[in-house]
Each structure stands twice: as C-alpha cells, then as structure tokens.
C-alpha cells in the first residue's frame, strides 16, 4: 500500500470513529448499537489493517506435568533416567524392548534437536511440530536470578517467593516480576506500551480475555476486556429470536413502544445522567463502555461471519472449553477491521492440570483437548489467511515432580514441581525444534531442586526471557524490553545464541 493510500485510509477510519464517539456522547448508548454496527460495517469494507499481529497466551492452570508432554525417546541421553524415575507414570518409546503392545506409547517427533516424542493424545501437536509450525521451549519457570542446584541448596541466591504454590506461581508467571508486589502483568505492560503508539490504537482494548479477568493483562492504562466465547454479554430480559435486544429495539435502533423498550430507555437515561458522586459516575462510565464494546464485538463477529470461513465445521473435533475460546479468538481476529487494533493480546485458559492423582487418565483428556483445540485454531487461521500474523504461547504454574506419588498406575499422580516445557506455535514460529535447555532428568543432581530428590527442575530459562521473545515479535523494541521485564538484565540475552530461544 502506498504512503498516500495509507494516510487516506487512516483519515477515513479516524473520521468514522470520531463520528461514532460523537454519537455516543449525544444519544443513548443502547440506541447506538445499530449505529456502531453500521459504522463498523463500513470499516470492515476498507482495506485490511496493515502489519497486523496478535499474541495468544494460553494458560494451563493447575501445573501441567510436561514431563509426559515432551518425552525423551530411547536414544535420548535422558531416556534411562526418565524410565527409571517416572515409575508407574512412564510412557515408553514403542521401540523399547520393555514396551508392551497395547500400552500407551509416545509419538515420535522429527527434529534435529534430539530424540523426542510427545504424549499419545498429542497427535495434533505432533503433526504441527513435524510440519515445522510448533516448537517446545524446555524448562521454563519463575526465577529472580540464574540458579544452580548448589546455590539452591546453600540458599545463596534469592528465589521466587512461595515456590510450588499454585496461586503465587500463577501470578508470578503472569507478572514476570516475582520479587515485587503485584501491580501489573507483563501482557498489560506490553499493551500499555503498544497502545501509546499510533499504529496500535483501536476502538477496544488491546487486551481481550476469553477466560475472565486475569493478572497477565492488568495494565496501567489499557483495561482488559473480558467476554465469553459467544461474544459480549448483553443486558438480560430484552432478547428474542431476532437478537439480544429484539424485544426493545427496532431495526433502526429506536426504542419499541413495548414494556421492554420503555424499560431499556429508562435504563439508558439513568446511565447518561451526570452524577456528582464519583463512584456513581464511574459506574455509569463502565456501563457505557460495556455497551459500546458490545456493539463493536457484535460488528466483529458479523465481519467474521461474512468471511466465508466455516468456524463451526473447522472446530467440529474441538468442541471443548478451550476450543470454544480459541474459536471466539479466531472470530475476533477475522473481525479485526471492525475493532481497529493492529496489535492484540488474547488470553485463554484450560484448567484441571493439578493431577495429584489419576494422572494417566486425566492427561489423556487434558492433552487431547489441548492438541485438538490447537490444531483447529491453526486450520481456522490458515483459512482466514492470517496464520503468519498470530503467535500462540502457553504458560502454566509449574511442571510436576518426575517421580510419582504412588505405585498404582490407576490412582498415582505427581506433585508440584518448578521448571517445565512450554508450547509455541503459529506461522511466525521456527518450528520442529526444542529450544532452551532440556534437563538431564537425574534425581539429586544437575537441575533437581532440594534434597527430596523428586525431580523438581530448577528452570534454565526464565519467564522473562521466554516472554520477551514473544513481546519483541509483537512490536516491543529491544530498548523497551527492560521496561516490560525489569529483571531481564539478570539473565542471558534471550536473542543471543547461547539462550537458544530463537523460536520466532
């Protein structure tokens, strides 16, 4: 696109949006829903947003046992230690002489990084890995400084507080600043920085969550916007077969002469009062913003429906909690012209990874849901033509102990660990590789923390380093990374070859 064309497009968008904002100031918010949809329909017909990028963070709540997600194969130097220490939870290489036909077997990966396989329910992940679209980053976790086993044992290096605690580690992963009281998430700080740059400004927040309010997207300026997989939640009591306000609004946005129409108008009038009490006035402002965002999200979903992509069919085999979230994110990406953001950060999550018991059965479902949802998300982004514009990364509280907590495979699980393996996938990913440093899996040696010899891996890649690569891809300059990740200077440069983090 030529420079003059870009300027004309920007001017057109600015005029339309300013007109929208003016309308919101002089008419009822609910009454402008139809107007917003018309305005954004015009925006959607404009040329696609240039230089669009979206980062999707998927949090695996409960502590994913990634020891059984990325598994050393028979010729890997850590295989013997895995096989010995994993006990009843081990998943063998099918070429191992000890493998019993019919038992779960790891799926081999094709990679020059070493001899690895994945969980037997992760066929979708294996396919993406082997086609060079997905990678693993080994042994990532919360750290204050690079830490060795000797330093951990001697207590000579400050450690993240409340290690092995779900709630603390979840927040520390999302803030990346374990040694400070929580004030913001790394995603929120990235959104603040990008929102201050003209190319990233849009009509709704850069931070959109499909999994409720979270710590990662807490910022100082950009307010995270949470919605459901079905879209924004409308006011109740006004919907019919024609839509969420069918009982109260005419198609042109005027109020119907019905009980619902009169009630909605009264609600709208109350919202537009000017309140002397600051709390009341702020509450009214929140309601108005929510109603405006509802119209914008509705327009984005309408734009997605007009894309020609059959979202439901592509997600046929991923009708799960995570699949529904990723499908909604795909729709919002398809409707990006209506929202107007050239940068977006999405948050999704899946729970249930606190597998203290029945881990073998639980992981079949958990990893299967993860694998199926990722594959469907990938196929949908490809169909939309935006696969190269979207980077997806996983987070989790921690991995779990390599040793099991029982001897019965039907009931045994694993306990809270520390560093674990994370997944990165998408068009921008240099896939088919295992990045970071894979632990030796030797109990009581190398990366094993503490004296219990359970296989709690001291991370060799910090959350700061891992997240910085994604933030830099999204648009945070190298000079600004220290603002987003205050502790990053304590670790090896994530973009240097020694860190082995070149996954984008």
The helices-and-strands tally (H runs, E runs) of the chain is 15, 12
End-to-end CA, the chain: 26
CA distance 421 to 504: 17
Reply yes or no on whether the pLDDT at 9 is more than 70: no
Segment 317-334 mean pLDDT? 98
Reply yes or no on whether the pLDDT at 292 is more than 70: no
Position 50 scores a pLDDT of 73
- Segments in 255-399 forming alpha helices (H): 259-271, 278-305, 311-314, 321-334, 336-339, 359-384
Structure tokens at 138: 């080994």
Segment 126-154 mean pLDDT? 98
* Contact between residue 57 and residue 422 where contact means Cβ atoms under 8 Å apart: no
Spell out a b/e string for 158-184, using b for 16 or more CB atoms within 10 Å of the CB, else e.
Answer: ebbeebbebebbbbbbbbbbbeeeeeb
Position 29 scores a pLDDT of 40
CA distance 141 to 466: 9
Closest by CA to 214, choosing from 171, 253, 182, is 171
Residue 170 has φ and ψ, to the nearest 5°, of -65, -45
Q: What is the CB neighbour count within 10 angstroms for residue 197?
A: 11
CA distance 10 to 147: 49
Q: What is the CB neighbour count within 10 angstroms for residue 330?
A: 29
Position 32 scores a pLDDT of 42
34-39: long-range contacts, CB 8 A cutoff, minimum separation 24: 34/249, 34/251, 34/252, 34/253, 35/253, 35/295, 36/292, 36/295, 36/296, 36/298, 36/299, 37/295, 37/298, 37/299, 37/302, 39/299
Closest by CA to 93, choosing from 82, 105, 101, 102, is 105
144-159: pLDDT as tens digits: 999 999 999 999 999 9
Higher pLDDT, 207 or 204: 207
Reply yes or no on whether the pLDDT at 3 is more than 50: no
Segment 5-23 mean pLDDT? 41
DSSP 8-state secondary structure symbol assigned to residue 385: T
The SS3 assignment for 70 reads strand
* Contact between residue 425 and residue 378 where contact means Cβ atoms under 8 Å apart: yes
Reply yes or no on whether the pLDDT at 375 is more than 90: yes
Name, in order, each residue with C-beta under 8 angstroms of 78's C-beta and a sequence gap of 6 or more: 72, 438, 439, 440, 441, 442
* Contact between residue 128 and residue 426 where contact means Cβ atoms under 8 Å apart: no
Position 49 scores a pLDDT of 66
214-264: pLDDT as tens digits: 999 999 999 899 999 998 777 778 888 877 778 888 887 788 999 988 888
Considering the entire predicted model, what is its pTM? 0.88
Reply yes or no on whether the pLDDT at 338 is more than 50: yes
CA distance 104 to 91: 6
Orientation of helix 186-195 relative to helix 166-175, angle to 10°? 20
Name, in order, each residue with C-beta under 8 angstroms of 279's C-beta and a sequence gap of 6 or more: none
């Amino acid at each position: 696109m030529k420079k003059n064309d870009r300027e004309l497009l920007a001017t057109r968008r600015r005029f339309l949006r300013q007109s929208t904002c003016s309308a919101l100031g002089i008419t009822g918010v609910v009454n402008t829903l139809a107007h917003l949809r018309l305005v954004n329909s015009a925006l959607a017909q404009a040329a696609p947003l240039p230089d669009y990028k979206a980062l999707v963070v998927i949090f695996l709540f409960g502590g994913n046992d990634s020891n059984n997600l990325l598994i050393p194969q028979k010729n890997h130097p850590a295989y013997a230690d895995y096989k010995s220490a994993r006990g009843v939870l081990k998943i063998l290489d099918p070429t191992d002489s000890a493998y019993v036909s019919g038992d779960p077997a790891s799926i081999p990966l094709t990679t020059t990084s070493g001899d690895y396989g994945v969980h037997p329910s992760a066929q979708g992940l294996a396919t993406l890995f082997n086609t060079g679209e997905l990678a693993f980053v080994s042994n990532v976790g919360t750290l204050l400084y690079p830490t060795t086993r000797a330093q951990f044992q001697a207590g000579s290096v400050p450690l993240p507080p409340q290690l092995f605690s779900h709630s603390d580690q979840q927040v520390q992963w999302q803030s990346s600043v374990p040694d400070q009281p929580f004030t913001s998430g790394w995603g929120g700080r990235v959104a603040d920085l990008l929102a201050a740059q003209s190319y990233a400004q849009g009509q709704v927040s850069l931070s959109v969550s499909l999994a409720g309010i979270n710590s990662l997207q807490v910022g100082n300026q950009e307010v995270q916007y949470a919605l459901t997989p079905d879209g924004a939640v409308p006011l109740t009591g006004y919907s019919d077969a024609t839509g969420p306000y069918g009982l109260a609004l005419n198609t042109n946005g005027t109020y119907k002469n019905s009980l619902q129409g009169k009630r909605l108008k009264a609600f709208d009038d109350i919202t537009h009062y000017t309140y002397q009490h600051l709390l009341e006035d702020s509450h009214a402002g929140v309601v108005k913003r929510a109603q405006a965002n509802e119209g914008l999200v509705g327009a984005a979903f309408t734009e997605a429906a007009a894309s020609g992509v059959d979202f439901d069919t592509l997600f046929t085999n991923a009708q799960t909690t995570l699949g529904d979230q990723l499908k909604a994110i795909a729709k919002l990406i398809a409707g990006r012209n209506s929202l107007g953001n050239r940068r977006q950060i999405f948050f999704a999550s899946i729970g249930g990874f606190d597998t203290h018991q029945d881990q073998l059965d639980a992981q079949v479902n958990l990893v299967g849901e993860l694998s199926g949802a990722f594959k469907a998300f990938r196929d949908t982004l490809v169909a939309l033509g935006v696969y190269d514009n979207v980077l997806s990364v996983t987070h989790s509280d921690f991995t779990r102990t390599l040793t099991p907590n029982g001897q019965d495979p039907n009931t045994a699980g694993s306990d809270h660990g520390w560093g674990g393996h994370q997944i990165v996938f998408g068009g921008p990913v240099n896939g088919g590789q295992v990045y970071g440093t894979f632990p030796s899996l030797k109990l009581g040696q190398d990366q094993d923390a503490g004296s219990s010899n359970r296989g709690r891996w001291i991370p060799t890649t910090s959350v700061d380093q891992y997240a910085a690569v994604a933030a830099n891809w999204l648009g945070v300059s190298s000079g600004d990374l220290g603002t987003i990740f205050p502790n990053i200077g304590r670790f090896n440069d994530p973009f240097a070859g020694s860190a082995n983090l070149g996954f984008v």
